[in-house]
Chains A and B, each alone.
Chain A
Amino acid sequence: MSQSHNRGLIEDFGRWREFRAGMWAWIFHKFTGWVLVGYLFTHIAVLSTAIPASGQETAVLQAGDDVYTQTIVTLEELLLVRILEVGLLAVAVFHILNGTRLLFIDLGVGLESQDKSFYASLILTGLITVASVPTFLAGAF
């Protein structure tokens, strides 16, 4: 059985040296959440170029010369954007894996091994991110 005890104020990041796996998982989940919600707003802003593009001539759309296609193509030509996409994948994968871990813990499954599942989330995130690098950088050079 788990025991409840005074965890102290985990919002006090100055205590980071005392943090254990569960605290780091909580901090990483919060950090990756902030990144993802920030990206969501940016993502919709960039995709909104489809609105003016939809009013352009069919021939322009078919040639890919519309403002939406050109915006995405121009961004994808930047190496920095490709690298940021790899970072975004890492952030998303960790948030998904750790989020799955949190859902199980909330259901009462795996609380006693929550530190191990956190380390597993980190390792799996690293492996998936590394494996995705060739896909994200294809055609960038």
Chain B
Amino acid sequence: MAERYSSFTPGGTMWLLQRITAAFLIVVLAFHFFLLHFVNHADEVSFIVSAARMETLSYYSLMILFLVTATFHGVNGVYNALINQGLTGRKKQAVKTTLIVASVVLIVQGVRTANAWAGGVPL
């Protein structure tokens, strides 16, 4: 029996952005896991080695884009999952505001961390 299940209403802007970020994240998340667990082992991590990677503009840009897309994809997914569970009205607005604030905090903190390794934006 062919049935289609999704937390999203097809055709909307958020639905499209969720799919576009998904396509990007499939590749970058796999790359991230492979690089930091299989090529470099997590128990061999050091500030110097992490900084050396982040000082490269291409790696820095990729990680910032990864942070932004992962935050959007994750938080948008959570928001739609909660709407599916029946979230409406004022609670829906409160959750939306909380998730937006949490996303901004996460992205700002992530960029600060990347800049700490790179010594600023590596231009």
Q: Which residues of B contact A100 (CB under 8 A)?
A: 26
Task: Specify the chain A residue showing the minimal Cβ separation from B116.
Answer: A54
Q: Which residues of B contact A120 (CB under 8 A)?
A: none
- Give the interface residue-count category, chain B: 35 or more
What is the CA–CA distance of A40 and B70 in the complex, to the nearest angstrom? Answer: 8
> CB < 8 Å: which of A26, A37, A48, A102 contacts B74?
A37
Given A30-B81, A76-B42: A37 and B2 interface contact (C-beta under 8 Å)? no
Q: Is the interface of B mostly helix, strand, loop or mixed?
A: helix
Within the complex, the shortest CB–CB distance from B84 to chain A, in Å, comes to 5
Q: B residues 23-63 with Cβ under 8 Å of A?
A: 23, 25-26, 29-30, 33, 37-38, 41-43, 45-48, 50-51
Q: Assess the B22–A99 pair: CB atoms within 8 A.
A: yes
- Give the interface residue-count category, chain A: 35 or more
Within the complex, the shortest CB–CB distance from B66 to chain A, in Å, comes to 10
Let me know if A34 is at the binding interface, CB within 8 A: yes
What is the CA–CA distance of A41 and B75 in the complex, to the nearest angstrom? Answer: 11
Q: Which residues of A contact B110 (CB under 8 A)?
A: 44, 47
Q: Assess the B43–A76 pair: CB atoms within 8 A.
A: yes
Let me know if B19 is at the binding interface, CB within 8 A: yes
Q: Assess the A40–B74 pair: CB atoms within 8 A.
A: yes
What is the CA–CA distance of A41 and B7 in the complex, to the nearest angstrom? Answer: 22
Task: Name 6 interchain pairs, CB-CB below 8 A, sorted by A.
Answer: A10-B5, A26-B5, A37-B77, A40-B70, A61-B48, A135-B38
The 9 closest A-B pairs by CB, nearest first: A37-B74, A2-B2, A26-B5, A76-B43, A54-B116, A72-B45, A51-B116, A50-B116, A69-B46
**B interface residue numbers (CB < 8 A to A):** 1-7, 10, 19, 22-23, 25-26, 29-30, 33, 37-38, 41-43, 45-48, 50-51, 67, 70-71, 74-75, 77-78, 81, 84-86, 102, 106, 109-110, 112-113, 116-117, 119
